[in-house]
Amino acid sequence: MNAPMGQIAFDEYGRPFIILRDQDRKSRLTGLDAHKSHILAAKSVANILKTSLGPKGLDKMMVSPDGDITVTNDGATILDLMDVDHQIAKLMVQLSKSQDDEIGDGTTGVVVLAGALLEQSEKLLDRGIHPIRIADGYEMAAKIAVATLDKISDTFDVDLKKPEPLIKLAMTTLGSKIVNRCHRQMAEIAVNAIMSVADLKRKDVDFELIKVQGKVGGKLEDTMLVKGVIVDKDMSHPQMPKVVKDAKMAILTCPFEPPKPKTKHKLDITSVEDYKKLREYELKTFENMVQSVKDKGANLVICQWGFDDEANHLLLQKELPAVRWVGGPEIELIAIATGGRIVPRFEELTTEKLGKAGIVRELTFGTTKERMLVIEECKNTRAVTLLIRGGNKMIVEEAKRSLHDALCVIRNLVRDGRVVYGGGAPEIAASLAVAEAADKIATLEQYAVRAFSEALEAVPLALAENSGLAPIQTLAEVKSRQVKEKNPRLGIDCLLKGTNDMKEQNVIETLMAKKQQILLATQLVRMILKIDDIRAPMDM
Amino acid sequence: MSRMQAPVILLKEGTDSSQGVPQIISNINACQAIADAVRTTLGPRGMDKLMVDDQGRCVISNDGATILKTLDIVHPAAKTLVDIAKSQDAEVGDGTTSVTLIAGELLKEMKPFIEDGVHPQIIIRAVRKAASLAVEKIKNIAVPIKKGNPKEMKELLLKCASTALSSKLVAASKDFFAAMVVDAVMMLDDLLPLNMIGIKKVTGGALEDSVLVAGVAFKKTFSYAGFEMQPKTYTKPKIAMLNIELELKAERENAEVRVDNVEEYQSIVDAEWKILYDKLDKIHHSGAKVVLSKLPIGDVATQYFADRDMFCAGRVPEEDLRRTMKACGGSIQTTSQSLTPDVLGTCETFEEVQLGGERFNMFKGCPQAKTCTIILRGGAEQFMEETERSLHDAIMIVRRAIKNDSVVAGGGAVETELSYHLREHSHTIAGKEQLLISAYAKALEVIPRQLCDNAGFDATNILNKLRQRHAQGGRWFGVNILKEDISDNLEDCVWEPAVVKINALTAASEATCLILSVDETIKNPRSGQGDQPGAGRGRGRPM
């Protein structure tokens, strides 16, 4: 960093005068230096992620300050945990996050693309092209690229009865993740989950209805989809029945104890009799409560709050199994799944408000004492839970993230049925189209558009490199074949299956995700290129 | 500094005082530095600044006022420039960079005169005169908007908005946003209150996914269990807007109940419940389907509403609630006692919609749609913040254009014309003012010059062409960034409301006069000390 030169003004006596607060402790970068420093920062972020791209991409291990370890190859997660400090690098992090928020997949690709675009713009800046003209050229090119994607996209029929194509799609997404050991099974789980909650008419999928729960232990293969709700709780008393069939649930948000006024109150107990009376009263209320719940026909109580051991004992005596301390969102999920109503007061409990489920059982895991409650065969099957098992916490967490990605992809497909084929094929096709268009542009932007087409190649290049292929040679081959055969489905054969046609390999990505990647990356690059002046507090 | 006589100590020791001509020069230099800071942001090829503050938050902006505000300027004279940028922002909302630049340039042009010993007051008088001449000229040449034809009017506003947006980050989609801004402003009532346009930001999505909602939209508030069971769409619902806490709680903070025996216990509890249920029942019976409250709506109430197929949202930000009221009619109630139909609002449809990672409550088709909401989408947070600022500028411009119905051509055209006019005028005056007014005229040329510099053009060349065209009567010729040439900017639809320019010139001239009229600064040592963290802040401690 060069010193804040030209920043200090001198008055007539030759004394420097201070215009900004703490001026001498601020650094300033302007002009080309600023651009170079931005590009360097962005490039280094992109380089970190580059090796995670594609089915043969590698994972990163991150150790947090307090020793938590995360292993992942999800771009957004990596960047999130890297805790970057540089301003421009932070923008890259936000970029991948926004891809994550909107699409949920392709978070690595978007960063790699943005990095490549900036790398290309460095050369253009060296040639003396105005940064804004570069950005303008990029925007022009992005429009061409997106139009090309639209052209080469295929429509994909989302049909609940034919889940096979969707499973293939989910398998593409999961291909690069740690879970690809039980690739197909995971894909099926994801598809089934989406299919049971998807609202095809509104073309929407409510993610709130899908709960992903992880539990350490067992094998990845033990991962399952429960068409119902899993609650990480057990029956309040060990002797209560472990399985309740034809369960009728009372879903309560009030504590199982005598109601207390919220106003501050005081009860003076002056004699032993009074005390006894109080005790009797409490007991009676308990009994009344339990009785009223039973009278309404409930045979299971789900309670948001707790109840003390005495109540617990009483419930056991009355043979009314109960679950306590169930969290708010879970209560809600249970209510939706079982068609019951959440009841805030005992007095309001009626038979209609009970939730119904075919079976409620406690799951035990191996030799551990941990238990979970599974509510299945519910009235409303739209709420589902994915229970992920795995050897250690890292794998479970990573599997969670991977499944989330897969769920997002399928959801996007339900929303918009257009797809492109993956494996770098759309990038190559777009790159070719952009390069062709570049020659037709008469202004300076031509160079920028051409640079854009080169930057688009970064994704297939990285894919080939990560798969152990000779990157440039492979890319050149595929490129020439795309032109010769006019087949935009040709991509990098990452898995060495012997064909470059991604349609045959069934490598599918959603059009939305690809378009979004290009648009977001261009947007960010424009923003970075537009900055020519940085003022920051100097490093400590 | 160099007086060697026995000093008469007048001020506290350590007080920094400097005076006379050198002081004026030094102030001018300081202002110069400020103008330099925003210089490169002008125009469609202007660049952005990235500023990081001590906490590590960063701001990326192209808006002159925002940059100067964030820079945290301490120099007393330089602060004046910040103030005029702020006042321009408050008054017209756009042109903050130009105003700073003009002021800086005016000072620069006046500096040689000060050095040559012209009395500041003479300069000030000349600057004032030149400013009033310039303002008059703008008023003369401004092109009035024909308000009669709404379609024509709209086109005109569109042009103004897209000129304002052309220098911003969103320039690539300026047509899209210009249309959005104009639509938004047109939805307002005659007073055009700015706070009736809500701008919400949702990360993710492309810029073009931004939408204008004719009505109110706000983020889903925190909800309790039971919320998911409430219906999420209504047509023609009645909306109750409340300022009541719908929670089971102690009615009075400090009240205490003494209970003698346990039977009474139940009755107290029942009473408490009854209070809440009374409220809820009243709301229910009023026929309202959507219940909004500024204060929290507790879980009991949430479930109560869920049972009755009603929708509720607690902790709605006041601003949003007020806008809902404006849009849907009705009024905010602080009690549930008098929920008569006339205090309930209504709208065509109410919906909860998922946008990116957020859920939004939307009220559409409001009977009194005097409000609207712009939902911005975009990649990074910084990006959207800058977009919001840009839209704010554009909204202000459109408002101004509607209120004051005349426009001038942008792109340096009006400045060149004024400069020409002033220079012509100066030849008719005798005396020092002649020089000063032509200096003022020269200073105005900074705008076209900077536009060229930022775009990487040969400024001298283009400026000469401009001067020539204006001398020949080409009144609206300005810089054409796209063609690297000059062109008639009124035809090319680079328009700005005249009031922006008038305000900019007046403010810049005022600031110049102010800075020129100061010839002594006395700086209290204490205030200087406070700047350095760590140094004692002890009041009146001798140094």
Integer angstrom CA distances of residue B161 from A123, B106, B164: 34, 28, 5
Structure token pair of residue B78: 């330089």
* Residues B389, B63 contacting (CB under 8 angstroms): yes
Placement of tokens 């069939």 in the chain: A245
DSSP letter for A238, please: T
B446-455 and B96-115 are packed helices; what angle lies between their axes, rounded to 10 degrees?
120
Q: Are A357 and A269 in contact (CB under 8 A)?
A: no
The pLDDT of A113-117, averaged and rounded, is 91
| CA A498 to each of CA A170, A491, A493: distance values in angstroms, whole numbers, following the listed order | 21, 12, 7
- Chain B partners of A253 at a C-beta cutoff of 8 Å? 225-226, 299-300, 303
Mean pLDDT (whole number) for B341-352 = 83
- Residues linked to residue B354 through DSSP beta bridges, in sequence order: B359
Residues from chain A that touch B79, judged by Cβ atoms under 8 A, are none
CB nearest to A98's CB, from B256, B271, B380: B380
For chain B, positions 355-414, list CB contacts with chain A under 8 A. 356-357, 378-383, 386
pLDDT tens sequence across B396-410: 888 888 877 788 888
Confidence of residue A117 (pLDDT cuts 50, 70, 90): very high
pLDDT number for residue B124: 92
Question: Chain A residues with CB inside 8 Å of B71's CB?
Answer: 20, 535
Q: Is A59 helix (H, G, I), strand (E, B) or coil?
A: coil
Is pLDDT larger for residue B133 or for residue A231? B133
Higher per-residue confidence, B205 vs A469: A469
**Does A18 sit within 8 Å of B51, measured CB to CB?**
no
* Phi, then psi, of A232 in degrees rounded to 5: -80, 60
C-alpha span between B156 and B496 (Å, rounded): 10
* Mean pLDDT (chain A, rounded): 81
CA distance B130 to B124: 10
- 3 state SS for B160-227: HHHHHHCCCHHHHHHHHHHHHHHHHHHHCCCCCCHHHEEEEEEEECCHHHCEEECEEEEECCCCCCCH
**Contact between chains at A262 and B60 (C-beta distance less than 8 A):** no
pLDDT at B501 over 70: yes
pLDDT at B126: 92
What is the mean pLDDT of the segment spanning B147-176? 79
**Annotated active-site positions of B, please?**
63, 96-97, 393
Q: Do B378 and A98 touch (CB under 8 A)?
A: yes
B232 contact residues in A (CB cutoff 8 A): none
Interface test mutation site (partner B, options A100, A527, A529, A540, max chain B beta carbons within 10 A): A527
DSSP per residue over A191-212, as a string?
HHHHHHH-BTTTTB--GGGEEE
In this structure, what token pair is assigned to residue A387? Answer: 């229970």
**If you average pLDDT over residues A79-95, what whole number do you get?**
82
Does A107 qualify as catalytic in the annotation? Answer: yes
Angle between helices A445-456 and A425-438 (to 10 degrees): 160
Identity of residue A367: T
Average pLDDT over residues A186-203: 79
Give the integer Cα–Cα distance in Å for B102 and B105: 5
Contacts of B143 (CB under 8 A, 6+ apart): B406, B407, B408, B490
Confidence tier at B372 by pLDDT (50, 70, 90): confident
Active-site residue flag, A108: yes
CA distance A334 to chain B (A): 11
Query: Which pLDDT value is given to residue B534?
Result: 37
Mean pLDDT, chain B, rounded, equals 81
Q: Are A27 and A1 in contact (CB under 8 A)?
A: yes
Tell me the three state secondary structure of residue A21.
Answer: coil
Contacts of B356 in chain A (CB under 8 A): 101-102
Q: Are A396 and A349 in contact (CB under 8 A)?
A: no
In terms of Cα–Cα distance, which of A44, A142, A76 is closest to A520? Answer: A142
Question: Which chain A residues have a beta carbon less than 8 Å from that of B58?
Answer: 87, 90, 536
3-state secondary structure A282-346: HHHHHHHHHHHHHHCCCCEEEECCCCCHHHHHHHHHCCCCEECCCCHHHHHHHHHHHCCCEECCH
What's the pTM value of the predicted model, to 2 decimals? 0.78
Q: What is the pLDDT of residue A240?
A: 80
Would you call A526 and B172 a contact, using CB atoms and an 8 Å cutoff?
Answer: yes
C-beta neighbour count of A245 within 10 angstroms: 12
Give the CA count within 13 Å in the CB-facing half-sphere of A318: 24
User: Which chain B positions have a beta carbon within 8 Å of A101's beta carbon?
Assistant: 203-204, 356-357
CB distance A253–B225 less than 8 Å? Answer: yes
For residue A1, the model assigns a pLDDT of 35
Radius of gyration for the alpha carbons in chain A, expressed in angstroms and rounded? 30
Query: CB–CB of A264 and B257 under 8 A?
Result: yes
Mean pLDDT of B71-92: 84
φ, ψ for residue B129 (rounded to 5)? -65, -45
DSSP state of B2: -
Do residues B197 and B393 lie in contact, with contact meaning Cβ atoms separated by under 8 Å?
no
Q: How confident is the model at residue B422 (pLDDT cuts 50, 70, 90)?
A: very high
What percent of chain B stands above pLDDT 70?
A: 89
Please give the residue of chain A at the shortest CA–CA distance from B31.
Answer: A19
Q: What DSSP designation does B246 have? A: B
Q: Do A537 and B225 touch (CB under 8 A)?
A: no
Of all residues in chain B, the percent with pLDDT exceeding 90 is 10
Partner residues linked to A193 by β-bridges: none
- Say yes or no for a CB contact (<8 Å) between A264 and B44: no
Whether the Cβ atoms of residue B240 and residue B325 lie closer than 8 Å to each other: no
What distance in Å separates residue B439's CA from the closest CA in chain A?
A: 23
Query: Which of B21, B28, B49 is best to mutate for the A interface (most A CBs within 10 A)?
Result: B49
